[in-house]
């Protein structure tokens, strides 16, 4: 029995999800590397572009800081800090400016109370907890043949569903931030029309990583349901 659960056909779903994530990650890195070599005509660095966008949006309580790593850029709503990575902070490339603007998009979402962002923030604790306890509950339910096994499996599936929900809700948040970024960069004149097309490619590639993440989570949930589908309430 244990051997079956380690080597079963449903692993193909996990493999598909893994391949999607690897391909998406490779795409974003290659696309970023390509346009990181194109200097923007404005000469603005990622830091300077972020500060200009935030001030233009009337946001004065968000700091722009440097964070180590590559493509580790993020906005922290709790401390109201926009952190830009090594590849973005001091770079004046169209890729760096686009990524900085995308993170500003999240800061603007936070300021305006963008609904999907509020929903995502609300389910973060539940999603993290659900992701941590889902598989242990499901495995206990599968390994032990008792009256409580069915209940453990169902609770595990529900717990993992919150992690999947988080991935799905993340999609509109990221797409909206990218759309805001492109619009603001164009309206402010930070990037020209041809530079905006390059930035769209960078942000589009980045969006694929979230699509792949959501698809992978859904496939894992499907695998769990297939694995436990034969177990019935006793």
Per residue in 186-206, pLDDT (tens digit) is 999 999 999 999 999 999 999
Q: Which range, of 12-21, 32-41, 148-157, 224-233, averages the lowest pLDDT? A: 224-233
CA distance 180 to 62: 17
CA distance 4 to 224: 14
Q: Which range, of 3-17, 38-52, 134-148, averages the lowest pLDDT? A: 3-17
Helices (H), 36-148: 46-56, 86-89, 94-112, 115-143
**CA diameter of the chain:** 69
**Burial class of residue 97 in the structure, from the number of CB atoms within 10 Å of its CB (0-12 exposed, 13-18 middle, 19+ buried):** buried
Res 5 pLDDT > 70: no
Residue 217: predicted pLDDT: 95
Residue 128, strand partner residues: none
Residue 231: predicted pLDDT: 56
Q: Read off the pLDDT of residues 164-190 as tens digits, 9 standing for 90 and up.
A: 999 999 999 999 999 999 999 999 999
- At which residue do the structure tokens 């993440």 appear? 213
**Cβ partners under 8 Å of residue 186, min gap 6:** 193, 196
Average pLDDT for 122-140: 91
Res 118 pLDDT > 70: yes
Res 154 pLDDT > 70: yes
On average, the pLDDT of the chain sits at 91
Res 114 pLDDT > 70: yes
For residue 232, name the pLDDT band (cuts at 50, 70, 90). low
Residue 125: predicted pLDDT: 94
Run of H or E including 66: strand 63-66
The residues annotated with a catalytic role in the active site are: 103
Secondary structure (H, E, C), 116-158: HHHHHHHHHHHHHHHHHHHHHHHHHHHHCCCCCHHHHHHHHHH
Residue 3: predicted pLDDT: 43
**Burial class of residue 195 in the structure, from the number of CB atoms within 10 Å of its CB (0-12 exposed, 13-18 middle, 19+ buried):** buried
Residue 1: predicted pLDDT: 44
Single out the residue of 15, 30, 12 nearest to residue 204, CA to CA: 30
CA distance 11 to 154: 20
Res 233 pLDDT > 90: no
CA distance 105 to 179: 8
Q: Read off the pLDDT of residues 203-223 as tens digits, 9 standing for 90 and up.
A: 999 999 999 999 999 999 999
Q: CB of 131 within 8 A of CB of 163?
A: yes
Q: Read off the pLDDT of residues 66-92 as tens digits, 9 standing for 90 and up.
A: 999 888 999 999 999 999 999 999 999
Residue 149: predicted pLDDT: 82
């Amino acid at each position: 029995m244990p051997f079956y659960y380690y080597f079963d056909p449903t692993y193909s779903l996990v493999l598909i999800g893994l391949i999607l994530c690897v391909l998406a990650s490779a795409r974003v890195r290659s696309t970023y590397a390509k346009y990181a070599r194109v200097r923007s005509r404005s000469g603005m660095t990622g830091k300077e572009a972020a500060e200009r966008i935030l001030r233009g949006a009337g946001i004065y309580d968000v700091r722009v800081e440097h964070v180590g790593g590559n493509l580790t850029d993020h906005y922290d709503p709790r401390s109201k800090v926009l952190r830009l990575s090594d590849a973005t902070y001091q770079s004046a490339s169209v890729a760096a400016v686009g990524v900085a603007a995308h993170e500003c998009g999240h800061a603007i979402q936070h300021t305006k109370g963008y609904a999907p962002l509020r929903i995502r923030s609300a389910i973060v604790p539940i999603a993290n907890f659900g992701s941590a306890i889902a598989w242990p509950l499901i495995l206990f339910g599968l390994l032990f043949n008792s009256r409580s096994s069915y209940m453990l499996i169902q609770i595990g599936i529900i717990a993992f569903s919150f992690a999947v929900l988080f991935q799905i809700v993340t999609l509109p948040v990221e797409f909206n931030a990218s759309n805001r970024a492109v619009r603001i960069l164009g309206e402010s004149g930070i990037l020209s029309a041809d530079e905006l097309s390059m930035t769209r490619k960078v942000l589009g590639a980045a969006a694929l990583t979230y699509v792949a993440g959501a698809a992978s989570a859904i496939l894992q949930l499907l695998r769990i349901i297939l694995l436990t589908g034969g177990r019935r309430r006793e």
